[in-house]
Copies of this chain bind each other. A is one copy, B any other.
């Protein structure tokens, strides 16, 4: 299944969450076992390569959990949850960041990773990169480092990849313009 086939499984919803935005709806792809498996296999083949040392997979709540869970399972690696504020019960690290409207906070348990660990950070979509950047900062605070950020979708015109540099980004379905 190539990128065009995968793109055909994404539903485009105009004017969500607000007028002028075309929302890329992944639920239709997830309902296709062939589509979802193709996406997972591409990730797994890439991160099984011996030249990319990964110690754990971190997923950003909540859609990032989908890809991170399956990849952690398939790669036999620990799964780390990066959650919204107030959801994690034990001692946490937190990082505040700006959104288009207002502020948000991500949290991770202080003991979620070991010092120096190389982390594969996963989410479903890369837009401006604000959330992914906050997750990277959180992983740095825990003395880990992000080896690569992997997303299923990338909205290239929002330049998240540039904002996240020098951390590499790998995405599978790229939208060049809105």
Residues of A within 8 A of B (CB): 11, 13, 16-17, 23, 25, 27, 30-33, 36-37, 40, 56, 61-63, 65-67, 69-70, 72-74, 76-81, 83, 86, 88-90, 109, 112
Q: Is the CB of B31 within 8 A of A89?
A: no
A109 with B73, Cβ < 8 A, contacts A13-B90, A62-B62, A78-B33 known: no
Q: Residue A31 contacts which of B11, B25, B33, B56 (CB distance < 8 angstroms)?
A: B56
A78 touching B40 by the CB < 8 A rule?
no
A69: which B residues are within 8 A, CB to CB?
A: 65-67, 69-70
Alpha-carbon gap, A71 to B139, bound state (A): 28
CB-contact partner of A112 in B13, B27, B66, B83, under 8 A:
B27
Which B residues are CB-close (under 8 A) to A65? 62-63, 65-66, 69
Across the interface, name the chain B residue whose C-beta is closest to A14.
B89
- Bound complex: CA A33 to CA B67 (Å): 16
Contact (Cβ within 8 A) B40 A81: no
CA distance A23 to B11 in the complex (A): 38
| With known contacts A23-B89, A30-B81, A90-B25, A72–B13 Cβ distance under 8 A | no
Give 20 CB contacts A-B under 8 Å. Answer: A11-B89, A13-B89, A17-B89, A25-B89, A27-B80, A27-B88, A27-B109, A27-B112, A30-B78, A30-B79, A31-B56, A31-B112, A32-B78, A36-B72, A37-B73, A37-B76, A40-B73, A62-B65, A70-B70, A73-B74
Contacts of A109 in B (CB 8 A): 27
Bound CA span A3–B72, Å: 22
In angstroms, Cα B61 to Cα A65, docked, is: 10
